[in-house]
Structure 1
Amino acid sequence: MELVAIQLNAGADWPANQARLEGLLHQLPPGRPLLVQLPENAVVFGNREAARRWAEPLGRGPVQETFSRWAREHGVWLVVGAIPTCIEGSDKLHSTCLVYDDQGRRQAHYHKVHLFDVQVADGHGRYQESATYQAGNELCVIDSPFGRLGLSICYDLRFPELYRALRERGAEILMVPAAFTRVTGQAHWLPLLQARAIENQCYVLAAAQVGDHGAGRQTWGHSVILDPWGEIKACLPTGEGLVAAPLEPERLAGIRRQMPVAQHARLTAVWRDNP
């Protein structure tokens, strides 16, 4: 079993992004099974109007049909980092992670819980996802041949309580597709990912956007795969491409057995008993 993260420099045109992704998928390792993750904003990036143009109702539309076909044709489990999906009766969208099995069937979805409304010292400056998107309110952990997958998206990474909740629901591999800015990524991307891996004793699969996207937006790249000890198993600092690393369930089980932090955690119980 292998984990694969695909790094992309997406723009505002889905057909162009689709062509690049198809080329990258043809570079997948030959062995199977593979768990393949695309980054956040895999359909379109950096353009609010484009997001609305290409948004689809969950479970319907040619964009989602393309992802289903790719999973089936390549025989992989495909995690689509985040795409815009419509909300019935609202002019807002969800930023939605989709999981397809190797038969092209959608097995799960997750709507991004934490929206990126911040000021960054870069060429873009003010980021306000809430102008376009509505936050989700449900966690998602699903079974797969690779283990239990805990879904998240980008800015979620800064909220450790979300990942603790995923671990408590049985997560073994944390999915963190992202589009971290160059400024925040250089400062915080890897330390945050390693913290989430170490404190939850999980593999972390983090596919990222990379490079210049126009309008002053630059992303950090550094797609990475971490093991449950926080060790970097593979990383792609710059440029489009992919990274792959083997999944070792016995290593995960050994780390959890030797240092059973989940069983030792006391604060939740203390707070519950002493309000």
Structure 2
Amino acid sequence: MTKYKIAVIQFSPRPNEIESNHQRAKSLIHDAAAAGAHLAVLPEYHLADFFPSHDPTIRQQCSDWKTYLDSYCDLAKECNICIVPGSLGELHADNTIVNAAYFIDNTGSIRGRYEKKNLWHPERAYVKSSKSETRHVAFDTPLGKVGLLICWDLAFPEAFRELIMQGAKMIIVPAFWRLSDASDEGLKHNPRSEGDFLDAAVVSRAFENTCAVVFCNVAGPADEGFAGLSQIAVPFKGCLDKFEGSDEGLKIVSVDMAILEEAEQAYKIREDLAKPDWHYGYRQ
């Protein structure tokens, strides 16, 4: 099978309402499964924006992450759907918080886990990066070989290359990306700077790696700087479909993965990466 229906859930977490956010997310996943989706993807930090200034009990909020992960595993099995539940802020025994994403298959089994490496600047004060401690790892799923990245990782082509060289055909990127991230100076140059960044980067990564890129961003009020623009891109076609704004919603996109093989025949990206004399230092 090469054709899959992927549900991108552009979701707006309500501050300090973790359980309510969880129930709303589950309801949208139910809707996606009922519509025949094979995979449902949520945004980064979909249970809550864990930035410390928003809530002084940040660490306590992160302590119950396993309960919610287990709930999504049960839901995946119940609905016969694969789930990437955005990312979870996880408080661990050493009192560190990591930003982690999971791929759960339709039997409720965890196929892959990824801790965010390239932290957005405000995160660095309270979230631990995996940095060079572990490699990016592609893993087998019912939809083929998949890689997970999170938000600001999108800005690093090296992350994609490492996954592609392990055979990943689909890269899933949950995000909490806002137009206001461009800074006041950037917004003076172009109020839609981050939107242009996202549109260009998602499509470029799909073409330059002959892979499908599933980008799922957080929803929220546009006047508060939320970008939305969740989308799926593949080579040749570019963006298959996307949210034009930052409203909350569910969009199901049909993706024929056979186009990736056709693109590889044309561009031979993976073939060149596999050569022993590949000249940029990347190695399989």
Unaligned runs of 5+ in 2: 183-193
Query: What SS does the aligned partner of 1:109 have?
Result: strand
Contact 1:195-1:230 at 8 Å conserved across structures: no
Contact 2:8-2:250 at 8 Å conserved across structures: yes
- Residue 232 of structure 1 pairs with residue 236 of structure 2: no
Contact 2:221-2:247 at 8 Å conserved across structures: no
User: Deviation of residue 66 (structure 1)?
Assistant: 1.6
The match for 1:40 among 29, 37, 44 is 44
- Residue 218 of structure 1 pairs with residue 225 of structure 2: yes
Deviates more, 1:46-55 or 1:191-200: 46-55
The match for 2:137 among 137, 140, 151 is 140
Contact 1:44-1:50 at 8 Å conserved across structures: no
TM-score relative to the length of structure 1 = 0.85
- Residue 247 of structure 1 pairs with residue 255 of structure 2: yes
Query: What SS does the aligned partner of 1:108 have?
Result: strand
Cα distance change of structure 1 residues 227 and 270 upon mapping to structure 2, 3 Å threshold:
closer
User: Deviation of residue 262 (structure 1)?
Assistant: 2.4
In the alignment, which residue of structure 2 is the partner of 1:87? 92
In the alignment, which residue of structure 2 is the partner of 1:192? 201
In the alignment, which residue of structure 2 is the partner of 1:2? 5
User: Deviation of residue 268 (structure 1)?
Assistant: 7.1
Query: What SS does the aligned partner of 2:87 have?
Result: strand
Amino acid at match of 1:177: P
Amino acid at match of 1:7: Q
The match for 1:74 among 63, 75, 79 is 79
Partners of 1:64 and 1:95 in 2: CA distance: 13
User: Deviation of residue 197 (structure 1)?
Assistant: 0.7
Partners of 2:109 and 2:47 in 1: CA distance: 19
Cα distance change of structure 1 residues 88 and 191 upon mapping to structure 2, 3 Å threshold:
same
Query: What SS does the aligned partner of 2:176 have?
Result: coil
In the alignment, which residue of structure 2 is the partner of 1:11? 14
In the alignment, which residue of structure 2 is the partner of 1:53? 60
- Residue 162 of structure 1 pairs with residue 165 of structure 2: no
Q: Deviations over 1:168-202 (max 9, x none)?
A: 01110011110111234323111111111110010
User: Deviation of residue 18 (structure 1)?
Assistant: 1.5
User: Deviation of residue 271 (structure 1)?
Assistant: 5.0
Query: What SS does the aligned partner of 2:27 have?
Result: helix
Partners of 1:174 and 1:257 in 2: CA distance: 20
In the alignment, which residue of structure 2 is the partner of 1:256? 264
Partners of 1:262 and 1:61 in 2: CA distance: 37
Q: Percent identity?
A: 22
**RMSD across aligned C-alpha pairs, in angstroms?**
2.5
Unaligned runs of 5+ in 1: 118-127
Amino acid at match of 1:130: R
User: Deviation of residue 94 (structure 1)?
Assistant: 0.5
User: Deviation of residue 56 (structure 1)?
Assistant: 3.8
Q: Deviations over 1:6-48 (max 9, x none)?
A: 1011123202211321332232154656111111001211542
Contact 1:93-1:133 at 8 Å conserved across structures: yes
Cα distance change of structure 1 residues 162 and 182 upon mapping to structure 2, 3 Å threshold:
same
User: Deviation of residue 258 (structure 1)?
Assistant: 2.4
User: Deviation of residue 217 (structure 1)?
Assistant: 5.7
Contact 2:6-2:38 at 8 Å conserved across structures: yes
TM-score relative to the length of structure 2 = 0.83
In the alignment, which residue of structure 2 is the partner of 1:23? 27
Amino acid at match of 1:82: S
Contact 2:63-2:92 at 8 Å conserved across structures: no
Cα distance change of structure 1 residues 227 and 271 upon mapping to structure 2, 3 Å threshold:
closer
Contact 1:11-1:46 at 8 Å conserved across structures: no
The match for 2:147 among 142, 150, 160 is 150
